[in-house]
């Protein structure tokens, strides 16, 4: 099941893009109630929004009759306190995706470099801005390891590059020394670098991998961060970027002044103070990703990649079962997974599942086990 809209093909033509989280499609097609659906297709915190966030939203519903603060002052102050960065280096956003499109529209690069498979909006936003895209396809047999030498060779003639760390959908996490090499290569080549850190909060020592402090002082580097995933707020849309103040000022002049709605700003202020919630989330994900990965590996015909974060990319080894078919069979049971056929560099035998709580994970594993057991034996 997937949300569909405009996207791209390998030739650069606009096609249809696919994302997870299409609960409405499941409701319409299969007749499920929303509370009956187990959604593994979207990588959202299984704890749900913090209690304090829900309380502030309920208490301030009448605020929707006012315009939101175009400068997001209170939210940026809370961000500055949380990140220990100056407000001038921070830009609030309607989710990290807004900044992906915004930086391309403002900087107007002619060619953009992307390693695939990765988040499809980098490629789509580049095409929307009129840029050509240079792609590096990572090797699944090498666990999608980042190819630094190939990256270095492709930089000439490129003006902007994207890195997703941890990567979506592979879950690969670049070590700090590799990240520094990437930054140095881009700086030497005069290539603007965008690093998407939207899933770092799910890692207990995630700050060790963050380039946010460097981005605040160095032109040519922008860090993206989503708050919708870690705080389970995808319906509100909230994120931020970190960059040199001159860059932030340029981005501010090119954006919608009211892109971050008033309730999202309020929710963000409260969420950023929920340090206990973050620790609880990291502990839950740490336990459950190991449980889910190990049990997926025990199922015949599946090869899950060892997860770094809160989702697991899995390869289907049985040629008789494709990911779109598996997604359909599970959707009929009220379980949504992310069919990864649309990710360049993957194909029809890959799917991704979010890490959820034990009860949900066990239900997914049981359903997968039943489906695998029902596949007829291969011809001798």
Range of the domain at 95: 51-275
Long-range interactions of 248-255: CB distance < 8 A, separation 24+: 248/88, 248/89, 248/90, 248/91, 250/106, 251/91, 251/99, 251/102, 251/103, 251/106, 252/91, 253/106, 254/102, 254/105, 254/106, 255/98, 255/102
Q: pLDDT tens, 298-341? A: 999 999 999 999 999 999 998 889 999 999 999 999 999 999 99
Q: For residue 204, what is the domain's CATH number?
A: 3.40.640.10
Shared domain check, 43 and 55: no
pLDDT given for residue 5 in this prediction: 33
Give the pTM.
0.92
Please indicate, yes or no, if residue 301 is contained in any of the structural domains.
Answer: no
Strand partners, 352: 313, 338
**Residue 276 to residues 97, 178, 279, 283, 355, Cα–Cα distance (Å):** 27, 31, 5, 11, 20
Residue 305 inside a domain? The answer is no
Question: Are residues 99 and 156 located together in one domain of the fold?
Answer: yes
Domain boundary, last residue among 246, 275, 304: 275
| pLDDT over 70 at 8, yes or no | no
Domain end: 227, 254, 275, which one?
275
Final residue belonging to a domain, choices 223, 247, 275 = 275
pLDDT at 13 over 80: no
Say whether pLDDT at 16 is over 60. Answer: no
Residues 321 and 361 in one domain: yes
Whether 119 maps to a domain, the answer reads yes
Q: Is residue 189 within 8 Å of 160, Cβ to Cβ?
A: no
pLDDT at 10 over 60: no
């Amino acid at each position: 099941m997937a949300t569909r809209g405009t996207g791209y093909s390998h030739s650069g033509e606009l096609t249809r893009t696919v994302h997870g989280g299409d609960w409405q499609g499941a409701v319409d097609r299969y007749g499920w109630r929303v509370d009956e659906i187990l959604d593994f297709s979207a990588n959202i915190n299984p704890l749900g929004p913090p209690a304090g966030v829900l309380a502030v939203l309920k208490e301030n519903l009448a605020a929707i009759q006012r315009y939101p603060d175009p400068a997001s002052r209170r939210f940026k102050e809370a961000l500055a306190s949380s990140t220990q960065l100056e407000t001038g280096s921070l830009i609030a956003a309607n989710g990290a995706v807004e900044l992906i499109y915004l930086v391309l529209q403002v900087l107007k690069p002619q060619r953009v470099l992307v390693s695939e498979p990765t988040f499809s909006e980098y490629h789509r936003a580049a095409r929307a801005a009129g840029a050509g895209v240079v792609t590096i396809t990572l090797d699944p047999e090498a666990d999608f390891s980042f190819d630094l030498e190939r990256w270095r060779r492709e930089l000439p003639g490129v003006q902007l590059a994207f890195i997703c760390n941890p990567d979506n959908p592979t879950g690969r996490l670049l070590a700090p020394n590799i990240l520094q090499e990437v930054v140095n290569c881009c700086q030497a080549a005069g290539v603007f670098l965008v690093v998407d850190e939207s899933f770092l909060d799910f890692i207990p020592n995630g700050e060790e991998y963050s380039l946010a402090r460097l981005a605040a002082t160095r032109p040519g580097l922008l860090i993206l961060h989503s708050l919708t995933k870690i705080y389970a707020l995808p319906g509100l849309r909230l994120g931020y970027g970190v960059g040199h103040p001159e860059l932030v000022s340029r981005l501010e002049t090119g954006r919608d002044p009211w892109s971050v709605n008033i309730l999202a700003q309020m929710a963000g202020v409260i969420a950023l103070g929920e340090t206990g919630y973050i620790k609880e989330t990291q502990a839950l994900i740490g336990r459950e990703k190991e449980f889910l990965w190990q049990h997926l590996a025990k199922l015949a015909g599946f090869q899950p990649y060892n997860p770094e974060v809160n989702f697991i990319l899995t390869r289907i080894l049985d040629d008789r079962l494709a990911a779109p078919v598996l997604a359909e069979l599970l959707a009929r049971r009220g379980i949504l997974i992310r069919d990864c056929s649309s990710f360049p560099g993957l194909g029809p035998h890959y799917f991704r599942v979010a890490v959820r709580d034990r009860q949900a994970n066990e239900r997914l594993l049981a359903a997968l086990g039943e489906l695998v057991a029902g596949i007829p034996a291969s011809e001798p």
